[in-house]
Amino acid sequence: MPSPILPISNFPSSTTSAATTVVKAKVDADPSKTLLISSQLDPEKAIKPLLPRASSYNSTTNVNNSIISFSNNHQQRSRRISSDSSLALLSDQSPRRSISREVGHAASETFLLSRLCVKLLSYLGVGYRWITRFLALGCYALLLMPGFIQVAYYYFFSRQVRRSIIYGEKPRNRLDLYLPESSHGTKPVVAFITGGAWIIGYKAWGSLLGQQLSERDIIVACIDYRNFPQGTISDMVEDASQGISFVCNNIAEYGGDPNRIYLMGQSAGAHIAACTLINQAIKEAGEGDSTSWSVSQIKAYFGLSGGYNLFNLIDHFHNRGLYRSIFLSIMEGEDSLHQFSPDVLVQDSNVKPAVSLLPPVILFHGTADFSIPADASTSFADTLRRVGGKAESILYDGKTHTDLFLQDPMRGGRDEMFEDVVAIIHGGDEEALAKDAVAPPRRRLVPEFMLKLAHNVSPF
C-alpha cells in the first residue's frame, strides 16, 4: 500500500500553505547523516559557452486564451507544422516502419554523439575525478545490463511506445510517448524531463518509468533536450518549454487528458523542469506576452533527486568530477546562477506574484544521495512555503541518487516511490485507485546481488 502523503486536492488555497516533509523509513533516520554542502562560489572564470543564449518561449496570463487563440501567427503555424509532422511519425511507429529510416536516424544520432563527445573531452581534459567516475559508471551499467536489455527490448519493439515525435525545430526537439494498452477513456499524463548532469541526458533514460506508469493507465511523454556542449541551460529550458507546450496542446490526440498533466523531472532534469515552470510563471505574471501553454495546465510538479540552489552545489559538483569551469559554462557564467537557481529565484520580491501561480510541488529524495544531498529538496520546499507556495518534500531513508529511479524499479515487487507518485496522480479517481490496489507486483529484472553491487559502485 502506498504510504500516506498529503493529497494534492487538500492543499490550502491561501498563500500561507505549509510545506510538509515526509520521511519514508523502515528504521529511524539519523538526522546527523543528512548532507548539506554549502560553500562560497569560486570566482574562477567560466569557459565561454559554445552556443549563444537562446530566448525562452513566450507566455500569457490566461490559459483559456492560450488554448483558444494565439496572437502570434508564426507560433501558430510552427505548432501546426510540428503537430502534423508528429502525427505523420506516429503512423510510422508500427512494426512496418521503414528500416532505412531507423538506420539513418541511428547513424545521424551516433555521428552527433561522437562529435559532441570529442568536444566534451576537450573541455574535461585529463582529470582523475571524472575518469574514475566514468570507470565506475561502466561497472555500474554492466551490473544492471540484464535490466537494461529488457527495457531496451520494450523500448524498441513495444507497440505502446511512440518514439521520436517531433515537437520543435531545434536539434533534439523530439519526445517519446508511452501509451497504456487500454484505450478506454482519457488518461492522465506525465511530462518527464530526464537527468544526466546536463551533459548525457536522453529521452530513452525514462523508458523504465514510462513502462511502469503506462501499465497503470498513465501516459508518459519523455522530452529530449539539447545537452552541453550542444547547448547551455537557456537552450535546455527553451527545449523543455516547447516539449511541455506540445504535450499540453496535442496530448488529447493520443488519448491523454489535457486537464490532468503532471510535470516531472529527475536529477538535472528536475532542475531544468523547475526552472522552466518558474520561468513560465514569471512571464504569465507579467503583461503583454503570449504563450502556447500555461502553468495552470500543470496539476502538480514532481521533482526527483533534484538540485535547486546552484550556489550550494557548485563546489560539491566540482569535488565529484563536474568541474567548476564546466559547470559555469553549462549555466552560462557566474552571473546566471541566480537566474537558474529556483530556490534562490523564488525569494526575489519581484518574483513573488509568479509563485502564487505555481502548481503544488512535491519533491522526492533519498537520504543517502551523495550526488545531490537531500537538503536540496527540503530547503526548496521550505522556501516555497515561506514565499506562499504549496510544497511537500518526501524523503526515503537510505536511498541513493539512483536507487529511487533505477535499482528499486528493477528489483520488482512494490516500489515505494512509484506507488506514492501513482497515488497522487490517481487521487480522487476511485476506479483507478481500486485497480492500483489489486495490480500485480512487477517482476524482477536484475538479481539482488547485482543490484547490491551496483549500489556500492554507483558513481552517482
Q: What amino acid positions are annotated as catalytic residues? A: 267, 369, 401
Query: In degrees rounded to 5, what are phi and psi of residue 184?
Result: -75, 120
Q: Is 205:196 a contact under the CB 8 Å cutoff?
A: yes
Sign of the C-alpha dihedral, residues 249, 251, 252, 254?
A: positive
Strands (E), 88-172: 161-166
Residue of 205, 173, 172, 177 whose CA lies nearest to 190? 177
Residue 93's contacts (CB-CB under 8 Å, 6 or more residues apart) are 161, 162, 163
Alpha-carbon span 86 to 94, nearest angstrom: 14
| Residue whose grid cell is 552527433 | 112
Measure the CA–CA gap between 4 and 434, rounded to whole angstroms. Answer: 16
347 in Cβ contact with 387 (< 8 Å): yes
Q: What is the DSSP string of 365-433?
A: EETT-SSS-THHHHHHHHHHHHTT--EEEEEETT--TTIIIIIHHHH-B--HHHHHHHHHHTTT-HHHH
